[in-house]
Copies of this chain bind each other. A is one copy, B any other.
Amino acid sequence: MRDTNEGAIEGVGLSAYKDQMDKCLGEVSLTEEELQAISAAIEIRAYKAGTILLEAGEIATECYLNLKGCVRQYYFIDGEEKTTFFYTEDQPIASFASATKKMPSTHYLSCVEDTVLSVMSFEKEEKLYKKYPRFESLCRIGVEEQLGDYQEILAKYITSSPEERYLNLLETRPDLLNRVPQYQLASYLGVKPESLSRIRKRIMLKPGVNVKLAQVSMT
């Protein structure tokens, strides 16, 4: 379950990286040479649905940018998989707790769908930082933005009920509902599958509450 379907995809990764970089403020722009060097360090890989990218116990050595598909982060607790994140198109994937401290990862990463990722090893990334400080600036900004996102996601999670979390998902990531099995979504929302089923029913029955959106989820 760890094969790499190298496809006829090339250059895609770099342009996605450039888009990503452009988002990190116009301040930092890279030269041809820098882009070349980064491009050389990036590998584009295609994975089949079900492929495991990282296992609990391993040390994370690579970071990814999701070009196409869906990657699920989960823990294995008391004999159960507990899903804690879904990474879809344009989202960076990096298990920093493991990578920065060289500690074994506590979670798994696996592909929910056939997935295409842009891959860079942390090792190569470090080398690039030394050679091209502007690349490090860019990544520093990117990581700061990610940290901001995570702070907000955590706060949103703490301050809302399972039902509110589901409604929030409907608004912010409606695509997930048609890409991911519902029992994994339930776990992600912090409830059992049976409860999510009831939440969905409850919402459908409610008077005005966004029937349109609720329909989407029933497709």
Contacts and interface: CB of A to CB of B under 8 A. Distances in A.
Interface of A: 73, 75, 77, 82, 84-85, 95-101, 106-107, 129, 133, 136-137, 139-141, 143-155, 157-159, 188, 190
Contacts of A154: 84-85, 150, 153-154, 157
- Copies of the chain in the assembly: 2
Contact of A147 (B75, B133, B141, B147): B147
Contacts of A145: 96, 100-101
Contacts of A77: 159
Most chain B Cβ neighbours within 10 Å, of A101, A144, A154: A144
Nearest to A152: B97
11 contacts: A84-B154, A95-B151, A96-B144, A98-B148, A107-B155, A133-B133, A133-B136, A136-B136, A143-B143, A150-B151, A157-B158
Contacts of A99: 144, 148
A63 to B, nearest CB: 10
A87 B151 CA distance: 13
A93 to B, nearest CB: 11
A14 to B, nearest CB: 22
B155 A84 contact: yes
Q: Is the interface of A mostly helix, strand, loop or mixed?
A: helix
A155 to B, nearest CB: 4
Contacts of A107: 155
Contact of A149 (B73, B97, B140): B97
A141 to B, nearest CB: 7
Contacts of A146: 147
A133 B150 CA distance: 26
B95 A158 contact: no
